[in-house]
Amino acid sequence: MAGQGCRRTVVAGARPPAAGPGRARLATWRRTENRRAGLGPTRRPRRRQKQRRGGMNKPSVFSPQIHEGQAVKIIGLGGTGGILARYGAMFLASLHREARLVLVDGDQFEEGNATRMFFGRHGNKAAVVREELLPRLAPSLLTVVAVEEYVTATNLTRLIHEGDIVLLAVDNHATRKLVSDHCARLEDVCLISGGNDGVGPDSAGLERSGTYGNVQIFLRAAGRELSPSLTQLHPELQNPADRSPADQSCTELMASVPQLLFANLAVASAMLNALWLHLAGALPYAELALDIAEGRMLPVLEMPRMLSTPAHSMTVPARPPREALPT
């Protein structure tokens, strides 16, 4: 499948795709910069600059940590997910703790993917990426597992567990809602979801340049929500008009929306930044918007007056036996 396409579906009564708070804030940016360019004076420094968003003081040193046996699941190994897997694996290996990176995708690499994705051979995306990572990770304590399946309502409880960190890089709202709803039933979980517009008209007929993207972070700890679920502030996710790839025909799967490589890269970078900050206990925002044409990246939803809960402090069940790693 193609990489992610954020906000490409609409429902009756909902605002157009990608017309949420992120796009509005980016438009405000542009107007502000235009006024500044015309008037000349520089903006006065903001008051209380030492105070971080969400009531958090910026640490002088970021120290990301994970507990032994931490599982990080990447769902979707397309344009964005492939970047997440490679740089995420490098980062996790650098922490020098036993951890599991689980790659989940039921799709295949094909020749047409080569404009936005690296792959050494055709075949299942999760399996191919795992093969390419293993030689580079041999000296590390990181275990890499490939699950050659799409996420469905049937296998979801087998794939996402208590204490998991989930990086969701899919291109459909149906899967986003499915994963978000499942995570809302867990006691402890970190879900980081990212996506970007496709190039051309969206499902509402609006022409998109493909340069806009966003990242959402849904955190639960000790049975409490620390930030909104993916669907809470986005009606297009609460009522998806599309279907998951497991429910689509071959013809539908082939009809992918063109995307920009560098939009995928920007979203993947923003997702990894959120992971890094979460593991350092210093994540100040719950949603981030970006536009590569504007050269802008902006938090549009603050973490509600509390720190991100570091993964190493979450309640996590014991590491499963090695034969059960794929689940």
3-state secondary structure of 180: helix
CATH architecture of the domain formed by 66-317: 3-Layer(aba) Sandwich (3.40)
Q: What is the largest CA-CA distance in the chain?
A: 66
- The DSSP line for 160-174 is --TT-EEEE--S-HH
- Give the residue extent of every domain in the chain: 66-317
Model confidence at 171, pLDDT cuts 50, 70, 90, reads confident
Report d(CA 300, CA 244) in Å as an integer: 27
Whole-structure pTM value: 0.75
| 233-278 residue pLDDT tens | 988 888 876 666 655 544 444 456 778 889 999 999 999 999 999 9
| 25-47 residue pLDDT tens | 666 655 665 565 554 444 444 54
Q: Which DSSP letter does residue 205 get?
A: S
